[in-house]
Every structure is written in structure tokens, then in C-alpha cells.
Chain A
Amino acid sequence: MIRDKVGIQPGGVMSGIDDITLVAYVDGELDPATCAEVETLLADSEELREKVRGLRESTALVRAAFNHALYGGAMPEFDTGRAGIVPFRETVAESGAGRGDRAISPGATGKPRRWVWRRWPSALPLAASLAALVIGATLGHYFTERSIDSELRNAGFILSSQDQLAIQTALTQGLEKELSGTRVTWANPDTGHGGEIVPIRTFQAENGQYCREFLDVRRITGSTQDHGGIACRSADGVWKVRVRYLPENGGV
């Protein structure tokens, strides 16, 4: 596509490809012939492959970096009265209000954040249908603990046992000790993975157990996967995850 503008430079073997071509290759913007040439050079050079890998990885980060701006924000004013438009601004506090939980204080800083849980449209009906969950019914796109793990694995989210331990620790701490809206972060320096657990709200199930809905956000080699879940506390103080579910749009 941009074959007239970029190309393989004649000359040194290592510097055989200029950065512009390499970036265009990563973006899929090269015409097939140039693309094939690049791939030939790549096959011969570990250094080049490493560079492409680095470009791809950092590109994935850039791609994801601004996504939270997709959610939230005011509608353009002249549109607010129009029928059929869902308001974009919906805060944690709003969705958690009046549910027997304390006012949710979003974020550790205590400053109001424009966290928007529009991605979690199932949250409210979910709490309402907890009775059904407690007796063990599985619904639609909800997952059991095991099946969400395979979901995540399929998406490339492979966790080490240390990661899993760190998540479990954060989960236990968050559920047992933290107010809804508080983030409990975990990080594993060995794998570079990290994430956070955020309790969203608390309620009592029909059998008298206390249950909490939570978010589980995992950041694994540059991509982010978040999902929700509900855990209930047994009489002996053990939090057991009853259900996990993916956001309806499939995540970030």
C-alpha cells in the first residue's frame, strides 16, 4: 500500500529494514511483495524478530491505554433528551446505593473517580437473581470458577501458581476486610503479572450467608482481562467464589 514511500534499504544485513518499513509491517500496511521480503529478513535475524516482538507488545499497550475513556463522559447536550439513548455517566456509587452497603468510596484516594460500570450491565439483575445462584442454577454467560479459568487461558491469560496464590490472597483480603469500592492490588514481580480485586457490594443471601460481588481485573503481559464474580462467606469464615461472569461485551 505504501510501497512507494517505504522499502527495503539496500545495504547492511542487520540494518536491512528501516524502522518505517518495520512499523508498517507490524501494522499490516505493506504490499504483499514488500511484506514477503520483510518476512524473509525476519527469518534470518533474531534481532529483527525481537524488535518486531517489542513493537507488537508496546503497540498492544498503546492500543489499550486509553480505553477507559470509551466509557463515561457526558452526552453532547443536545442529545440528552433524545429517546433511546442510554446515559453514559453511571457511577459505582449509583449502582451500589441502597443495597445495604456503605456508600462506595471509589478509589483509594477517596477522590471521586469517574469509574463507570456500564460494562457491567448484568450487575443489578445479578444481585436480584442471587437466590437462583445460591441453589446452584447456572445462567447464560455466567461461568463456574473452573470454566472461567479455561476461558482466560484460551485468551492467552496464563497464570503461574504464584499468580493464582496472589489473586487468592487479594481476593480473601478484599472480601474479608475492605469496603466496597476499595481496590486490592496484587503483583507478581517474577511474571510481571498483576491486577486488582474490587469488592462492589455486599448483600445477604437467602440462606443467611453474606455474599459480595467483586471485580477481578488481571493484567497479563500487556493485556487486561476483567470479569466479575460473587463470593459467599461460609459460617467458618471461608470465602467461596460461587460464580464468575464475563462482561457482556466480552471484556476490554
Chain B
Amino acid sequence: MVGLLPRLRRFAYGLSGSLDEADDLVQSTFERALSHIDQWQIGTRLDSWMYRILHSIRINRLKSENLRTKKRDDSDPDEQIGGDSAREIEAKLTLEAVRLFIWKLPEEQRAILLLIVVEGVSYKEASDLLGVPIGTVTSRLARARLAIKDFVEMKGTQ
């Protein structure tokens, strides 16, 4: 189970846009997984199950956070684009630009994108895991992917 930690952290980071938040999500995910381990069906994939737990914790937090404020956690200095010198911005990775773009996508598109593209989950698994119909998965995924493609190409021609 601990072997899943890096991938869970990556998923959490992709969802939340902050490494601190990611660590927190992972911690909660492990706590919940261990206390509900009886609910995991042997023979099913442990990683999918844990992605699901993590995602639902994330969604619940978003809901309660939305009740309070719409503030977004940009506290990780590594991820801020502002405040850098022009030279540094120029040297910034395309990867960073891609991350920032993905964090601006709607949460539902982002979750699907991360699961399928980054975590390598199949369409079917993603549909089960997120509890959305496969048609929704494919259309949201396509929307996100086309948007990113256009963004990357636009950056490339600048």
C-alpha cells in the first residue's frame, strides 16, 4: 500500500495544485483506507480504490471550502508564476505552463485527465472510479485534451 504513495501524491498534487495540500490529501487517504480496509474487495485493484478515496476526500473538501470562501491555495512558492524575473519566466519549463493550465481546467475535467493520462487508468476504470458514465468520461477527456493541445501549440508559436 505504501508503494502507492508516490502515485497518490502525484494525483493529489495534480488535483489540488499544491504539494502541501497533496501531502494532506494523501495522509487522509491512507487513514481512511486503513480504517475502511474491510471495504476493499480482494481481487479488485487497490490503486483504483485508493484513487477513488482520495478523489472523494478532495471533492468533499472542495464542497466545504466553497461554503466558506472561494479562495484557492496558491501557497506553494514553487508553483507561483508571479514575482519571478523576466529571465526566469523565459526559462520556465513548458511543463510548468502545462501544470498551470491544467489547474485552471474545471475540476471534473482535471480529475479525468489526471487519472487517464498521468496515472494510466483506463477509460472504463476511470468511469467506475469516479462514478460517471463512460460517455461523460470520453467527452470531458477530449475537451481537456484538445484545450491543452491548442494551448501547447499556441505557446510553441509565441
Contacts and interface: CB of A to CB of B under 8 A. Distances in A.
Q: DSSP class of A's interface residues: helix, strand, loop or mixed?
A: mixed
A23 B10 contact: no
A192 B156 contact: yes
Interface of B: 2, 5-7, 9-10, 12-14, 19, 22-23, 26-27, 30-31, 34, 77-78, 84, 88, 90-91, 93-96, 98-99, 102, 113-114, 116-118, 122-124, 134-135, 138-139, 141-143, 145-146, 148-149, 151-153, 156
Contact of A29 (B9, B14, B27, B122): B122
A250 interface: no
Given A29-B123, A62-B98, A57 B135 contact: no
A137 interface: no
A128 B97 CA distance: 39
Contact of A66 (B30, B94, B99, B153): B99
Interface stretch (A91-99, A105-113, A148-156, A230-238): A105-113
Given A23-B141, A76-B30, A62 B9 contact: no
A58 B145 contact: yes
Contact of B142 (A20, A72, A109): A20
A29 to B, nearest CB: 5
Given A64-B95, A66-B13, 12 more contacts: A2-B124, A19-B142, A23-B142, A62-B118, A66-B14, A69-B10, A69-B19, A70-B7, A73-B22, A75-B2, A78-B34, A219-B94
A55 B122 CA distance: 18
A67 B10 CA distance: 7
Contacts of B12: 69
Q: Ordered nearest first, which 5 A-B pairs have the shortest CB separation?
A: A69-B13, A76-B30, A70-B6, A185-B91, A58-B152
Contact of A65 (B91, B98, B142, B145): B98
7 contacts: A1-B123, A24-B138, A65-B14, A67-B10, A85-B2, A219-B95, A224-B95
Given A70-B7, A76-B26, A23 B138 contact: yes
B78 A65 contact: no
